[in-house]
Amino acid sequence: MAIGSLIKPISHYMYLASILLLLITIINYFAKNIKRWHRAQLILDILIMMIMILGVTSAVFLSKFDAQALTSSQWVTLTTILVADLLTLLMILVLISSTTLSKISVGLYMVVVGMCFYVLNNLIGIYNDYMVLQIGQSIPNLFRIFAFSLFAIGSQYENKKMTLKNDFAKKGSPENLNKTRLAIFLSIIPLILFVLGFVNLTHFAIIAIAVIFYQLLSFYVQKTAIMEMILEQDRYLKDKLEALVDDRTMELTKANKALYKKSTVDDLTGLYNRSYFIQLIEDQIQIDGNHFSVFFMDLDRFKIINDLHGHDMGDKVLKIIADRFDSSMCDLCHYARVGGDEFAILFRDDSPDELEKIKPSRPRAA
């Protein structure tokens, strides 16, 4: 008798430790995957599950609870185990209702179901140990065996396959939207218990009212979430389109600059080319009363440089001549290479004074 009285409290503590480990595991899972769910809908799911669990628990368990028969230590132990069991059951139901089942592997699903049976085993054990009515050990033993079997099979399955499909990083709608059917389905349990006489009218009415409010609030939350996702998608597409337009505009600007440079500038010397120089002269002609001067020059004996030293050396000479033009650049002058060794200067003035200013800086013939 003494050994039995000693083993019973130890078994309760072991049950408490095991259920706390399960609770910590589920809370850790929620913490790591909280971004997958819509916060407002998750809070609603937790509240409705909590109301249903507390309603059924208070009707089925606490109504048959003999508080006077317990000591203070038994009261603390019972309360702690019951709270831990109910919290674990709450988190498991919320997890199932908020997660897309297609993203959960068979192994993890079996482990979660095994947790449910293990929690039910604990609740039945509390019912047997502390309540007036007794239901025997057959059902809790069956639940315990079934829970451990699911744990073992699910764990073995997970050794061969990933627990979750690794697509949570993909941007999409929260998983717990449009997932209220489980809460509605679970609300049938209080109705069955009410018909069987385990739940009184007060508890059933509270649960029914909570389910109605849950449906109304869930409808509002989901519509709001859908509008937020549509707006977010519009902003994302708008930003993406603007970035694409900016990139294309930058590419077109660069292409236009390259085309403009190619159509106006000589590739070798960097001076204006023949066609653009003619265009500059035509523009000056179109101005009424405008006066301008045009100078033409070529390089003497340039063919000898190409014949004796090669075309590379000839190109270098042409570049040197162009650099001399750049060094003598004035605001009224335009320099151009109009042929192989031919250059031209457009001076937008023909007054003798202005011509004398540029005379000393004119490049010498090579």
3-30 pLDDT per residue, tens: 444 445 676 677 778 778 888 888 888 7
Q: Read off the pLDDT band of 245 (50, 70, 90).
A: very high
Mark whether 148 and 22 lie in a shared domain: yes
Domain assignment present for 237: no
Mark whether 213 and 349 lie in a shared domain: no
The domain boundary, picked from 226, 247, 264, lies at 226
Q: Read off the pLDDT band of 200 (50, 70, 90).
A: confident
Domain assignment present for 256: no
End-to-end Cα spacing for the chain: 124
Distance (Å, whole) CA 9 – CA 75: 12
Mark whether 141 and 278 lie in a shared domain: no
pTM: 0.49
Residue type, position 219, single letter: F
Distance (Å, whole) CA 221 – CA 177: 9
Domain assignment present for 148: yes
pLDDT at 101: 64
Q: Read off the pLDDT band of 164 (50, 70, 90).
A: very low
Domain assignment present for 250: no
For the record, the structure tokens of 170 come out as: 């993909």
Q: Read off the pLDDT band of 125 (50, 70, 90).
A: confident
pLDDT at 16: 76
Mark whether 220 and 279 lie in a shared domain: no
Number of helices and strands in the chain (H, E): 12, 3
Task: Work out the average pLDDT over 120-143.
Answer: 67
For residue 361, pLDDT beyond 50: no
Q: When comparing pLDDT for 65 and 214, which is higher?
A: 214
Domain assignment present for 241: no
Mark whether 302 and 217 lie in a shared domain: no
Mark whether 43 and 132 lie in a shared domain: yes
Helix (H, G, I), strand (E, B) or coil at 347: strand
**C-beta of residue 74 within 8 angstroms of C-beta of residue 130:** yes
Distance (Å, whole) CA 145 – CA 150: 9
Helix (H, G, I), strand (E, B) or coil at 362: coil
Give me the long-range contacts of 57-64 (CB less than 8 A, separation at least 24): 57/82, 57/86, 58/203, 59/193, 59/198, 59/199, 59/200, 59/203, 60/193, 60/198, 60/199, 61/123, 61/126, 61/127, 61/131, 63/200, 64/131, 64/132, 64/133
For residue 33, pLDDT beyond 50: yes
Task: Work out the average pLDDT over 259-269.
Answer: 85
Mark whether 211 and 328 lie in a shared domain: no
Q: What residues does 104 pair with on adjacent strands?
A: 164
Mark whether 183 and 315 lie in a shared domain: no
The domain boundary, picked from 211, 226, 241, lies at 226
For residue 165, pLDDT beyond 60: no
Domain assignment present for 238: no
Mark whether 213 and 283 lie in a shared domain: no
Mark whether 291 and 214 lie in a shared domain: no
For residue 32, pLDDT beyond 50: yes
Q: Read off the pLDDT band of 158 (50, 70, 90).
A: low
**Tens of pLDDT, residues 322-343:** 888 877 667 778 888 888 888 8
Q: Read off the pLDDT band of 353 (50, 70, 90).
A: low
Mark whether 145 and 30 lie in a shared domain: yes
> Which CATH number fits the domain that encloses residue 290?
3.30.70.270
Mark whether 198 and 325 lie in a shared domain: no
Domain assignment present for 244: no
pLDDT at 111: 79
Buried b (16+ CB within 10 A) or exposed e, 143-175: bbebbeebbeebeebbeeeeeeeeeeeeeeebb
Q: Domain limits at 300?
A: 274-358
pLDDT at 175: 67
**Tens of pLDDT, residues 52-86:** 888 877 776 666 666 666 677 777 777 787 888 88
Query: What is the number of structural domains in the chain?
Result: 2
**C-beta of residue 268 within 8 angstroms of C-beta of residue 338:** no
Domain assignment present for 310: yes
pLDDT at 30: 79
pLDDT at 177: 67
